[in-house]
Amino acid sequence: MTPGIARRLVSMLYEALLLLAVAFFAGLAFRLASGAAPLEGWLLHAHQAFLAAVFAAYFLWCWLRGGQTLAMKTWRVRLVGVTPGRALLRFLCALVLVPTGVSLAWALVDRDRQFLHDRLAGTRLVGA
């Protein structure tokens, strides 16, 4: 594994910890707004959609404002070639490809060591 991939993977791990905090507070806000009803049926799906929308807002805002989330700044990784459409496509692809490991495995065989969700979205991660 190259140092560039290792740095991006550690950045992703740090990002997951930050998302845990974002999910906690967003979930708390949702629960308070819903009257703390049990999360089942349509309310469960609404909760999941709300969290996905909050995550999308977080990532798109960070990527479009400077190409970096807090974790990316910490590990000196920057997203380049980003536009609003590409940022949304990158988020949607990463939502499926990162948890399954497909995007991470792709980076090991990619000629530029880029993740699959970056290839599909036309973006690129670079060391800052």
**How is residue 81 written in tokens?**
């070639």
Judge whether residue 128 has pLDDT over 60: no
- 3 pLDDT tier (thresholds 50, 70, 90): low
For residue range 77-106, what is the model confidence (pLDDT) as tens digits? 999 999 999 999 999 999 999 999 999 999
Res 9: pLDDT: 86
CA–CA distance, 100 with 80 (Å, rounded to integer): 24
Judge whether residue 1 has pLDDT over 80: no
- Looking at residue 99, its amino acid is P
For residue range 31-90, what is the model confidence (pLDDT) as tens digits? 999 988 888 999 999 999 999 999 999 999 999 999 999 999 999 999 999 999 999 999
Average pLDDT over residues 13-28: 96
Q: Which residues pair with 77 in a beta bridge?
A: 127
Of 124, 26, 17, 18, the residue nearest 77 (C-alpha): 124
Q: Which residues pair with 89 in a beta bridge?
A: none
Res 36: pLDDT: 81
Q: Which residues contact 68 (CB under 8 A, 6 or more apart)?
A: 62, 77, 78, 79, 128
Show me where the domains of the chain are located.
Answer: 3-127
First to last CA, the chain: 19
Judge whether residue 4 has pLDDT over 80: no
**3-class secondary-structure state, position 16:** helix
Q: How does the average pLDDT of the chain come out, rounded?
A: 93
